[in-house]
Structure formats: C-alpha cells, structure tokens
Chains A and B, each alone.
Chain A
Amino acid sequence: MKTKGMEQPQLVEGLRKLEDEAIDELVHQYSRPLFGVILNYTKNPQDAEEILQDTLVKIVRKIETFRDQGDIWPWIKRIAINNSIIWLRKNRATREHELRMDDHLPQFSADGQHSHPVFDWGVDPEQLLLNKEVGGLIYDAVQVLPFEYRAPLVLREIEGYSIREISALLGIKEAATKTRIHRARLFVRERLAKHFSGRHFGGLL
C-alpha cells in the first residue's frame, strides 16, 4: 500500500529510526481508519481517542517486528483491535451497566414454540441500508451489547475474522464464540424487530 506522501518501506524505515516525518505520516494516514475500527468497540469518542493514542505508540514500539513485505494495514489494524479488547475488558466493570441478555432474546413457550408472532419485515435489505435511521439503530444495538457479546460480533460481522481467529483473540473456546455471536445476532434482530413492528415501511423509506 502506498501512503499518500511516503511509500510504505520509507514509512516503516522512518518509524524504525523514530523520525518525526514518519511519525506525522503514520498519524496522518492511519488515524482516521484506526479511529473507525476502534469506534466499533466503544462509542465514547474520548475513550476511542485514548485507545488510538495507545495504539499509535504500540505501532511505533513494535515496528521492528513487522517483517511482512505486504500491506501494513492488517498488521496495524490487529494492534488496534487487540488494544480495544484489552482496554474494554479493563474498563467494562466501571463503565457499563450490563443489560441482562435473556430479557432481550426471543421468547419461547414451554413446548418450544415462538411466544410472539414473528413477522417478515418485508423490505429489501439493500433499501434498508440506505436508511440512516436504520444504520444508527444497528450501531446503537451493537454498542449496548455487553462486552463479551459485542467483541465477538464486531470481530465476525465487521472485521470478518473466522471463528477460530476470534477464539484466539478473545481467549475463549470456539463453541463459546459461536454461541455469543449467535446470541448477539438474536439481540440485534430483536431490537430491529421492535423498531419495525407496527411501522409503516412506506413512511420509513
């Protein structure tokens, strides 16, 4: 990947020598995409900036270990994700009032049937994507998920990692990873279902 003002090898070399120009270039080129990645884990901009600061420092300190000749972005992004996970794990107790997932998942009768009617939303997902309100609703739904559900969901849906990679990143078993992603999806679906129930789609779109 070419950076705007500097080729990648130059940037990497400059960072190894701790040159101001390379440091500025790193911030200029990668702060915005890194901030986007971090905001998937916390919607608080102050927290995100703090995680970003820490990520940039780690990138410079670890640049010696970057051996790959390919694009540096996946390596950089991985540091941001790891950092976000560590940071959130450390801070979740004080910053989040955890919601009870079971209260927000689909309900079933004793014989395993749906307790409430289930409607098809009857809309094309492509059309829904054009709707900013729906985009905000999904972002908010993901953000209110407790950390242990939010992290695997984001890693799967947004970052596109495999179940095995997510298990390794979070230090949990693959079966637990799958269960958490599934429950997180059920939660997001319930939020959307509540939003759409009783709404007139013609008015929404």
Chain B
Amino acid sequence: MKAFISCKQCTDLLMDYLEGTLDTGIKQRLDEHLSACPPCLNFLRTYKTSSELTRRLRDQQVQIPRAMENRLKSFLREQVKKS
C-alpha cells in the first residue's frame, strides 16, 4: 500500500522533483498529491517562479565609476611592484 505524502513532505521534495532526481515511485506519489492538492500545486508554481526570478539576477549590469577604475589601476600597479 502506498504511503500518504503530506504537504510538508511534498514541499521538502520540490527541489529534487524539479531537478528530475526523484525515484519513479516517489515522483508518482508526489504527482498524485499535486493533482489533488491546489495549495501544493500553487506552492510548486511559485517556488519555480522564485527560482527563475533569482536566476535572472545574473543578467543585471553594473557600472563602476571612472574614479574607481583609476583607483584600482593605481592600487594594482603598486601591489605588483611590491611582490
């Protein structure tokens, strides 16, 4: 007989679920839970969205002021001369 999966267990398994690393049996039980539990399905969607949004931080562009670039050049020239 299949063991019941709680919402907490479902939440604990989400990372493995999304990475596709769950055993087939567990994945099937999780799928069954998700199809019968709207809060967990919402949780899965929003967990995935949060991860996707975090990934997009990689696209952020930063600028550095010219003065800082000059500071870094002077600092590095000085440091390498010491070594």
List B contacts of A112 (CB < 8 A).
6-9
> Contact between A192 and B53 (Cβ–Cβ < 8 Å)?
yes
- Complex formed: what's the CA distance from A158 to B16 in Å? 19
With an 8 A cutoff between CB atoms, is B24 at the interface? no
A156 to B43 Cα, complex, angstroms: 21
Q: Are B73 and A185 in contact (CB under 8 A)?
A: no
Contact of B53 among A32, A111, A134 (CB under 8 A): A134
Q: In chain A between 116 and 144, which residues have their CB closer than 8 angstroms to a CB of chain B? A: 117-121, 125, 128-129, 134-135, 138-139, 142
Contacts A31-B72, A135-B57, A192-B53: A106 and B11 contacting too (C-beta < 8 A)?
Answer: yes
Given contacts A192-B46, A193-B46, is CB(A40)–CB(B57) below 8 Å? yes
Give B20 Cβ to nearest chain A Cβ, in Å: 13
Q: Which residues in A have their C-beta under 8 angstroms from that of B81? A: 18
User: Given the complex, which residues of B lie within 8 Å of A178, measured CB to CB?
Assistant: 15-16
The residue of chain A having its C-beta at the shortest distance from the C-beta of B12 within the complex is A182
Question: Min CB distance, B53 to chain A, in Å?
Answer: 5
Please report the total number of A residues contacting B with Cβ < 8 Å.
Answer: 53
The listed residue (B6, B11, B46, B83) touching A121 by CB distance below 8 A is: B46
Known contacts: A49-B68, A57-B80. The answer to whether A188 contacts B54 by CB under 8 A is: yes
B35 sits at the interface (CB 8 A): no
| Residues of chain A lying within 8 A (CB to CB) of residue B58 | 157-160
A181 to B60, CA, bound (A): 21
Interface residues of B in 44-69 (CB under 8 A from A): 45-47, 49-58, 60-64, 68-69
Known pairs A118-B39, A142-B54, A157-B54; A35 contacts B49 (CB<8 A): no
Interface contacts beyond A36-B62, A153-B54, A158-B57: sample of 20 additional A-B pairs, CB < 8 Å, sorted by A: A31-B68, A35-B64, A106-B11, A106-B43, A111-B6, A114-B7, A118-B39, A125-B49, A135-B56, A135-B60, A157-B51, A157-B54, A157-B57, A158-B54, A182-B15, A185-B50, A186-B11, A189-B50, A192-B49, A192-B50
